[in-house]
């Protein structure tokens, strides 16, 4: 089980800087945090072990690699029993086109972010997979026209 740690000002600086540049060297990270490299590395490892830092990723431009369509889909299920919710989440994990799956409260049970190469492949996924999935009663889709802000992570105050 991950251990819980209390974040001080230096930890918050490390987190802020790694969120903006996950490829920053430990030496640069330590310099920005105002500490030497060895304790900085120990702090990063502790943040990873505690589960605060979950992973590191490269942001890949979807259009550049042939995924020109992004759609948000609001999915409503027939049943909200925990077993049915988990089955739907498992199904979402099997679909490569579904990049995010968020369970919500209210009229919509799940919000999905779906990427596709083109409208035809998206439509095929929508009709043959998503709306055909067990327990799905309705799907409302919202095609993405433009993204004016994308900032992963959380706003960390120092």
The pLDDT, as a whole number, for residue 64 is: 96
Q: Residue 67 above 70 pLDDT?
A: yes
Q: How confident is the model at residue 2 (pLDDT cuts 50, 70, 90)?
A: low
Are 36 and 68 in contact by the 8 Å Cβ rule? The answer is no
* Spatial distance between the Cα atoms of 122 and 63, rounded to a whole number of angstroms: 15
- Residue ranges and CATH numbers for the domains of the chain are 9-49 (1.10.10.10), 63-143 (3.30.70.920)
**pLDDT confidence of residue 3:** 61
């Amino acid at each position: 089980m991950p251990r819980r740690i209390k974040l001080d000002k230096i930890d918050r600086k490390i987190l802020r800087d790694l969120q903006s540049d996950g490829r920053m060297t430990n030496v640069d990270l330590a310099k920005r945090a105002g500490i030497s490299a060895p304790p900085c590395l120990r702090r990063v490892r502790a943040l990873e072990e505690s589960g605060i830092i979950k992973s590191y990723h490269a942001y890949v431009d979807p259009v550049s690699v042939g995924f020109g369509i992004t759609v948000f889909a609001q999915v409503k299920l027939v049943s909200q029993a925990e077993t049915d919710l988990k089955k739907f989440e498992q199904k979402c994990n099997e679909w490569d086109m579904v990049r995010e799956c968020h369970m919500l409260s209210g009229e919509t049970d799940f919000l999905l972010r779906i990427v596709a190469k083109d409208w035809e492949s998206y439509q095929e996924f929508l009709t043959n997979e998503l709306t055909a999935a067990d327990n799905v009663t309705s799907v409302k889709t919202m095609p993405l026209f433009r993204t004016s802000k994308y900032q992963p992570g959380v706003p960390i105050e120092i």
